[in-house]
DNA sequence: AACGATAGTGTTATGATATAACATATTTAA
DNA sequence: TTAAATATGTTATATCATAACACTATCGTT
């Protein structure tokens, strides 16, 4: 992912089955390489996060889980914490929600562009955004630990729809 | 505020009385110019937000208010919403907390650098950060509505303290 | 296989953050 | 002065998240 790459909003148009299969394969790899267990439950919750290509909230995950049987909040939050620690998902702070990560092999925090209309999002890790921030920080000797960058607005598709109305 | 200006972490060293007085004066101006009322309650809550030069949470504000008499959450949240709408304070999404704005006359969203050690923060509105993000967005036709940029880490002072230990 | 150690999950209760809904009070403006 | 608009008080409840402890599954050793 670089600053120059176009943003592509992942929507209904693509083969989401294979999209998810890839994500799961990557997740399995990451877990294995770090000696962590991608248990049935963790996989299930990971799938629920990926399912919609939109940020999903913890209690929406819980609702889905409860269709399979009883479940309680800690079950969801523990799995989410695990997945976040491994970088398999990210938390969107401004929405109290979670999204799947496309590039979990590389440690990163990501920048999120999220459509206020349809909920679709993309994750970037733009060098130019990162370095603009780093430069600001260096000016004063601030040592960066965490970057939360969440941009909301209207995605190209939704903008198109609005115009044609 | 520009990208080139150094970050200055506002701490105990300065004359905070006059610092707050300035903030209140600006707030009064802003309210007047937009025909909004800077009521006693709103002023009180604005002061509580400014008091510490750190992000403050709604329920901490509530605790302080309750020292003057009875108060309930909606009282706090309504005032916070009012102050945010006018740009007099900002919300730090990643902390569920609020900070006073130094430059409420100009509409902006700001970028926040917050110290994980001491809680001190600075707000920038860096042109280079903003334009790096705008360029990424333009690449795909994404129309930006809201920017949430929250950088946490260690401020220069705290870094100094750590070294000298 | 038997064992204890570690990691993962279930369950209950509760803490922390935020808003809905409606009653009352205050301010504004005709 | 009075009606409308705005602001605040009050109660209840929605939403988001974690603590604490019991139980189960897995792993590594013997
Ligand atoms: Zn997909
Ligand atoms: Zn990512
Ligand atoms: Zn000050
Ligand atoms: Zn500001």
Read off the pTM: 0.94
Is the confidence at residue B12, as pLDDT, over 80?
no
* Mutation choice for B interface testing from A148, A150, A161 by most B CBs within 10 A: A148
Query: Which alpha helices (H) appear in chain B, and where do they start and end?
Result: 16-33, 40-51, 58-66, 73-85, 127-138, 156-163
Q: Is B129 on the interface with A (CB under 8 A)?
A: yes
The closest alpha carbon to B25, from B47, B41, B9, belongs to B47
B107 has a chain A CB within 8 A of its CB? no
Least confident of A26-30, A132-136, A156-160, B38-42: A156-160
Contact status, residue B92 vs residue B99, Cβ threshold 8 Å:
yes
Instruction: Report how far ligand 2's centroid is from the alpha carbon of B158 (Å).
Output: 30
pLDDT at residue A62 tops 50: yes
> Which nucleotide has its C1' atom closest to residue A44's CA?
C9
A151 CB within 8 Å of a chain B CB: yes
CB A151 within 8 A of CB B137: yes
Instruction: Kindly give the pairing relationship between strand A111-115 and strand A143-154.
Output: parallel
Please give the full DSSP string across B51-73, using - where no structure is assigned.
HTSS-B-HHHHHHHHHTTS---H
**pLDDT tens for each residue of A82-114:** 999 999 999 999 999 999 999 999 999 999 999
Q: Choose between B4 and B83: higher pLDDT.
A: B83
Mean pLDDT of B67-89: 97
Domains of chain B and any CATH numbers: 13-101 (1.10.10.10), 108-165 (3.30.1490.190)
Both tokens of residue A41?
Answer: 């439950």
Query: How sure is the predictor about A15, in pLDDT bands with cuts at 50, 70 and 90?
Result: confident
Checking if the pLDDT of A4 tops 70, the result is no
* A6 confidence band (pLDDT: 50, 70, 90): low
Give the residue from chain A lying closest to B129, CA to CA.
A132
pLDDT of residue A73: 98
pLDDT of residue B7: 61
Q: Which residues from chain A sit within 8 angstroms of residue B146, using beta carbons?
A: 94, 151-153
Alpha helices in B72-154 (DSSP H): 73-85, 127-138
Q: How many CB pairs under 8 A join A and B?
A: 146
**What was the pLDDT predicted at A3?**
40
Residue of B132, B154, B160 to mutate, testing the A interface (most A Cβ within 10 Å of its Cβ): B132
> Contact B3/A132, CB-based, under 8 Å?
yes
User: How far is Cα A51 from Cα A100, in angstroms, rounded to an integer?
Assistant: 9
Mean pLDDT to the nearest integer, A25-31: 97
Give the pLDDT band of residue B165 (cuts 50, 70, 90): low
Would you call A146 and B151 a contact, using CB atoms and an 8 Å cutoff?
yes
Give the pLDDT score at B10. 65
pLDDT, one tens digit per residue, over A106-162 is 999 999 999 999 999 999 999 999 999 999 999 989 999 999 999 999 999 999 887
**Nearest ligand, CA A50:** 1
């Amino acid at each position: 992912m670089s600053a120059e790459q176009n943003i592509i909003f992942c929507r209904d148009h693509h083969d989401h089955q294979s999209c998810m299969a890839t994500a799961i394969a990557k997740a399995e790899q990451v877990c294995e390489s770090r000696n962590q267990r991608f248990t049935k439950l963790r996989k299930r919750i990971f799938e629920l996060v990926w399912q919609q290509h939109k940020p999903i909230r913890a209690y929406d995950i819980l609702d889905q889980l409860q269709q399979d049987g009883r479940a309680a909040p800690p079950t969801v939050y523990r799995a989410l914490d695990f997945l976040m620690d491994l970088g398999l998902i990210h938390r969107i702070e401004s929405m109290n929600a979670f999204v799947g990560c496309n590039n979990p092999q590389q440690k990163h925090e990501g920048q999120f562009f999220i459509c206020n209309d349809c909920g679709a999002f993309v994750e970037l890790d733009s060098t130019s955004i990162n370095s603009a921030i780093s430069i600001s920080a260096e000016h004063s000797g601030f040592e960066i630990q965490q970057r939360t960058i969440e941009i909301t607005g209207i995605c190209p598709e939704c903008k198109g729809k609005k115009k044609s109305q």
